[in-house]
Structure 1
Amino acid sequence: MDVEKHELQQKAEFWISKNGICQDMETSIMKYAKLRLQKGRDVDIEHLLHILPSTLGKSIKEHICFPLLKKVPLFQNMDEGVYRTICEFLKPVIYSEKSYIIREGEPLDMVLFITQGVVWTFGSNTSLTNRLQKGDYYGNELIEWRFNSISYNNFPLSIANVKSQTKVEAFALMEIELKHVLYICWPKFYKYNKTNESISGSMNYFAAASLQRGFRRFIKNKKAQENKGQENKTRENEHSIHVNS
């Protein structure tokens, strides 16, 4: 057990160091990891965010991802509430060395935010060759398309192959999750892009769709409450009949 604890500590300290985790979070991570180990439960450092308590995991994800999100032109100058919402939809992903992540000509259905490792992007045109590493992202075309489109016409295709040179750790924002972000945060995006007719038009669509979804949710909850009330009333009547008989 002592050897296992030592190995765990070394791996955890390396993960904490390479991700620039602050001391308060480091203390909480190590405390939880050791406690989990003492209970005989697995501690997978590579998938640490999956096993940490939700509040701690959320704080760590925000610490790592906020600086990355602020590099995206259409995400800049937003308040922290928007970044927190986006972070809720980001999924941690790991790619082994020399793995194709996206191929040229395939639908570009995610934005990739790189937190560790090196990625090459290249296409049939050698001028497209580029090297991405920690702090970079790929898929801005998807964000621009979604901000300017309310349908799936002209869905963007990747203009390059995206391949890991080393093992890569990243966060992925899928197209469907980006759409959910816009349903939730459209007022903020509208505020900062209202002079852009194309984007403001799309935000009007998301505003209307968001209101419709909210209204349907309200009707559904109202019907559920009415049905519950009717069920309770029926039980009370059956109980009264039973007592009187």
Structure 2
Amino acid sequence: MVLFSISVLNNMFDLYFIFLKLSSRRLEMSLRQRDVEQWMSHRRLGEDLRRRVRQAERYNWAATRGVNEEILMENLPEDLQREIRRHLFKFVKKVRIFSLMDERILDAICERLRQKIYIKGSKVLYDGGLVEKVVFIVRGKLESIGEDEIRVPLSEGNVCGEELLTWCLEHTSGNKVCGKTRIPRQRLISNRTVLCLTNVEAFSIRAADLEEVTKLFARFLRSPGVQGAIRYESPYWRCLAATRIQVAWRYRKKRLYRADTSQSNPNPTTIPTN
């Protein structure tokens, strides 16, 4: 009888603590919503913007459960942080250039990844805008729309903004001033629009962080394997190759046309002039 009473009391205490935890979460969420509403009212946002902010807040809360992963990770030992990041960010190796890099570079990149939440209808990149981040898609569906209106679907495991990586690598390994690596101030301009078809959960690395990584490991980036991957993946080199192919093809067409013309008129008559 005594053991049964103790068991019942333990279950009651467990339920009580679960109830307190849920209550605190709900209270935290309600306080957050109140702060957001007050901020939107203070800034006099329009109704459409308010609706989108509320939607983003709801999805952000559902995705993170109100837990700030960055603060949680900071309190853990460094080696444990590194192992957790390697587990969470396995998708990084799906990018061809990343797959050629060693663990030190991947660890440096994973340390700089930040969680990002996008709602349906958001634009991750837009045509003519700056490419300021590389985004690794964890959950959701997107669509990449190029200048020629060709649409490419993107989903879990895909990457957008990867041209920023090749751009940073090219400029880091190709620009030297007094023996030091220098990143020029010019920025990469996007030639496509990436639109969210659903709510999207992703991780991103900013351009400044990516530049820092390429500076730290500039010596490794001069290896033939990485340089070959840069040329293969780079939009610049692809555009240059396409331009040269077009020029060569036009030159060949002109030569063939001239050859056909000369064969059809072997002895062209000369028109006398007065």
For the aligned pair, the TM-score class normalised by the smaller chain equals 0.5 to 0.7
Aligned residue for 2:111, secondary structure, equals: helix
| Paired residues of 2:140 and 2:201 also in contact (CA < 8 A) | yes
Partners of 1:7 and 1:131 lie apart in 2 by: 41
Select which of 120, 126, 130 maps to 1:97: 120
Pick closer, same or farther for the CA change 1:57–1:117 going to 2, 3 Å. farther
User: 1:186 aligned to 2:218?
Assistant: yes
Aligned residue for 1:107, secondary structure, equals: coil
Give 1:154 deviation, angstroms.
Answer: 6.3
Unpaired segments ≥5 residues, structure 1: 10-43, 200-245
Give 1:96 deviation, angstroms.
Answer: 1.6
Partners of 1:78 and 1:99 lie apart in 2 by: 32
User: 1:106 aligned to 2:122?
Assistant: no
| Paired residues of 2:131 and 2:164 also in contact (CA < 8 A) | yes
Match of 1:50 in 2: 70
Match of 1:64 in 2: 88
Pick closer, same or farther for the CA change 1:193–1:186 going to 2, 3 Å. farther
Q: Which has the larger radius of gyration?
A: 2
Partners of 2:209 and 2:227 lie apart in 1 by: 25
Partners of 2:208 and 2:193 lie apart in 1 by: 22
Partners of 1:8 and 1:45 lie apart in 2 by: 12
Partners of 1:130 and 1:194 lie apart in 2 by: 26
Match of 1:2 in 2: 18
Partners of 1:73 and 1:163 lie apart in 2 by: 23
Unpaired segments ≥5 residues, structure 2: 1-16, 26-63, 176-182, 232-274
Identity among equivalent positions (%) equals: 25
| Deviations 1:101-137, CA, capped at 9 Å, x for gaps | 221111112111111111111145222x111111110
TM-score normalised by the chain length of structure 2: 0.51
User: 1:141 aligned to 2:163?
Assistant: yes
| Paired residues of 1:107 and 1:157 also in contact (CA < 8 A) | yes
